[in-house]
Amino acid sequence: MAVEAPLPHDSDYELVGGRPAVEALVDRLYQLVLDDERLAGHFEGADLAQLKSHQVQMVTQLLGGPATFDRRNLRLAYARMGLARADHENVWSYLVQVLVEAGMKPAIIGRVRDALADLGRSFVSLGAMPT
């Protein structure tokens, strides 16, 4: 009986380990964000479980996984928290740092970085974030 070769991975999401890996990445992301004096105050009193859930959906979608992430929800949440454009960019730079720390392949990191840049442009073009 022949052993079938494993199927190639269809997405970066599968390559990084799926939902458990994304949840671990988001947990690390929030450790960094909450340890940053420039950002921590914005998250006081926030529902971190809900924020993490939204972030897991966003990262899942950025990696090509099965998620229905609505940019408007994140944009509104960031606006309510008073995150300016620089704060927003700092959060996403931490996400890239977390991917590097986790040993992600440079190609995956590059695709996520490109997707974050696109997402950031859409936020700014919609006037949701002050500069």
Return the DSSP state at 17: T
HEC assignment per residue over the chain: CCCCCCCCCCCHHHHHCHHHHHHHHHHHHHHHHHHCHHHHHHHCCCCHHHHHHHHHHHHHHHCCCCCCCCHHHHHHHHHHCCCCHHHHHHHHHHHHHHHHHCCCCHHHHHHHHHHHHHHHHHHHHCCCCCC
Q: Which two tokens stand for residue 72?
A: 């408007």
Structural domains of the chain sorted by starting position, each given as residue range(s) with its CATH number in brackets? 17-36+47-125 (1.10.490.10)
Residue 99 and residue 108 in contact, taking contact as beta carbons nearer than 8 Å: yes
Q: Which pLDDT score, from 0 to 100, does residue 122 have? A: 65
Host H or E run for residue 119: helix 106-125
Whole-prediction pTM value?
0.81
| Integer Cα distance of 131 and 129 in angstroms | 6
| Integer Cα distance of 12 and 5 in angstroms | 19
* Region of 46 on the Ramachandran plot (φ > 0 left; ψ -120 to 50 alpha; else beta): beta
Encode the chain (131 residues) as per-residue pLDDT tens digits: 444 444 345 799 999 999 999 999 999 999 999 999 999 998 888 889 988 988 899 899 889 998 777 767 666 766 777 777 788 788 889 999 999 999 999 999 999 999 888 877 766 544 444 44
